[in-house]
């Protein structure tokens, strides 16, 4: 099956610093990656959609200068939270869909395990 | 706006009980509907899906039917097991598979032996 990893799984940082979260597709080429944010006891909220080699498309209300997304290769997307503040503390989840090994494409999204960000 | 409403948990059942987790949606157009499951410490996994009205998705004994007239996609299982304990998310996208998903808040299911 298709596997998506995230790194780190947990990060604690000081207010004002920047934090980078990596999302990797381990056994398939991810032509599209999605970034979600989940608050406690809330649903996952789509933040942005990125296609390999092009700029990310952000959902309404998500600051693109605050949450920098790079999808430079078919197996890696990064989310950088710039000048993080305590209100950015949350659970960030990525998902990916794309090309299966041996041909064909995946119609479903495969999710990473998530990254817990705590800003002090 | 687009949204998903699902039962709030936790839902606690005994093993072999019948399970229903309600889900209704508000969406424009003709969305595809999904149920995802998240086991402790793991990422979300697709459980089942339906892409058009009256389709029934099924997997691992779970099933859900796309009801356009009631905008619902209720999850059912006839006999639950302890291993079914997890958080279940109802979701949809607007079609084409390329769009991001709109999720419900999730329902925590606890099955007791």
Is residue B94 scored above 70 in pLDDT? yes
Q: Is A57 on the interface with B (CB under 8 A)?
A: no
Q: For an interface test with B, which of A105, A111, A116 has the most B Cβ atoms less than 10 Å from its Cβ? A: A111
Q: Quick check: B44 and A4 CB within 8 A? A: no
Q: What is the Cα–Cα distance from B84 to B61, expressed in whole angstroms? A: 10
Tell me the average pLDDT across B64-77. Answer: 96
Question: Pick from B103, B113, B87: which is nearest to B11 by CA?
Answer: B87
Q: Is A87 on the interface with B (CB under 8 A)?
A: no
Mapped onto helix, strand or coil, the DSSP state of residue A87 is helix
Q: Is A49 on the interface with B (CB under 8 A)?
A: yes
- Closest-CA residue of chain B to A98: B98
Cβ atoms within 10 Å, residue B51: 15
Q: Quick check: A95 and B4 CB within 8 A? A: no
Q: Quick check: A108 and B4 CB within 8 A? A: no
Q: Cα dihedral sign for B85, B81, B103, A65?
A: positive
Q: Quick check: B99 and A49 CB within 8 A? A: yes
- What's the pLDDT at A78? 96
State how far residue A92 is from chain B, nearest Cα, in angstroms.
11
Is residue B96 scored above 80 in pLDDT? no
Question: Pick from B46, B94, B101: which is nearest to A49 by CA?
Answer: B101
State how far residue A82 is from chain B, nearest Cα, in angstroms.
23
- What's the pLDDT at B30? 83
Q: What is the Cα–Cα distance from B27 to B30, expressed in whole angstroms? A: 8
Tell me the average pLDDT across B45-54. Answer: 93
What is the overall mean pLDDT for chain A?
Answer: 90
Q: What is the Cα–Cα distance from A110 to A2, expressed in whole angstroms? A: 7
Q: Is B26 on the interface with A (CB under 8 A)?
A: no
- Contact assessment for residue A96 and residue A104, using Cβ atoms and an 8 Å cutoff: no
- Contact assessment for residue B91 and residue B106, using Cβ atoms and an 8 Å cutoff: no
Tell me the average pLDDT across A42-64. Answer: 90
- Contact assessment for residue B76 and residue B15, using Cβ atoms and an 8 Å cutoff: no
Q: What is the Cα–Cα distance from B38 to A75, expressed in whole angstroms? A: 23
Strand partners, A88: none
- What's the pLDDT at B10? 94
B chain contacts of residue A44, beta-carbon cutoff 8 Å = 89, 101, 103
- Contact assessment for residue A101 and residue A27, using Cβ atoms and an 8 Å cutoff: yes
- Contact assessment for residue B78 and residue B33, using Cβ atoms and an 8 Å cutoff: no
**Share of residues in chain B with pLDDT > 90 (%):** 76
Q: What is the Cα–Cα distance from A119 to A85, expressed in whole angstroms? A: 6
Tell me the average pLDDT across B17-41. Answer: 92
Q: Is B52 on the interface with A (CB under 8 A)?
A: no
Q: What is the Cα–Cα distance from B65 to B110, expressed in whole angstroms? A: 23
Q: Which residue has the higher pLDDT, B105 or A99?
A: B105
């Amino acid at each position: 099956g298709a596997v998506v990893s995230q790194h780190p799984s947990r990060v604690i940082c000081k207010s004002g610093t920047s934090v980078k979260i990596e999302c990797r597709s381990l056994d398939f080429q991810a032509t599209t990656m999605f970034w979600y944010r989940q608050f406690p006891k809330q649903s996952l909220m789509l933040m942005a959609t990125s296609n390999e080699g092009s700029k990310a498309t952000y959902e309404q209300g998500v600051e693109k200068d605050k949450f920098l997304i790079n999808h430079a290769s078919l197996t890696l997307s990064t989310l950088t939270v710039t000048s993080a503040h305590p209100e950015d503390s949350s659970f960030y989840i990525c998902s990916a869909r794309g090309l299966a090994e041996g041909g064909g494409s995946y119609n479903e999204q495969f999710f990473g395990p998530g990254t817990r960000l705590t800003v002090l | 706006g687009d949204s998903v409403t699902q039962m709030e948990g936790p839902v606690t059942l005994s093993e072999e009980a019948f399970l229903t987790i309600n889900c209704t949606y508000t969406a424009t157009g003709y969305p595809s509907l999904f149920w995802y499951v998240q086991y402790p410490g793991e990422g979300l996994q697709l459980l089942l899906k339906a892409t058009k009205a009256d389709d029934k998705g099924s997997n691992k004994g779970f099933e859900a039917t796309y009801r356009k007239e009631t905008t619902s996609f209720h999850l059912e299982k006839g006999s639950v097991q302890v291993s079914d304990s997890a958080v279940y998310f109802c979701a949809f996208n607007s079609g084409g598979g390329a769009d991001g998903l709109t999720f419900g808040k999730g329902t925590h299911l606890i099955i007791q032996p």
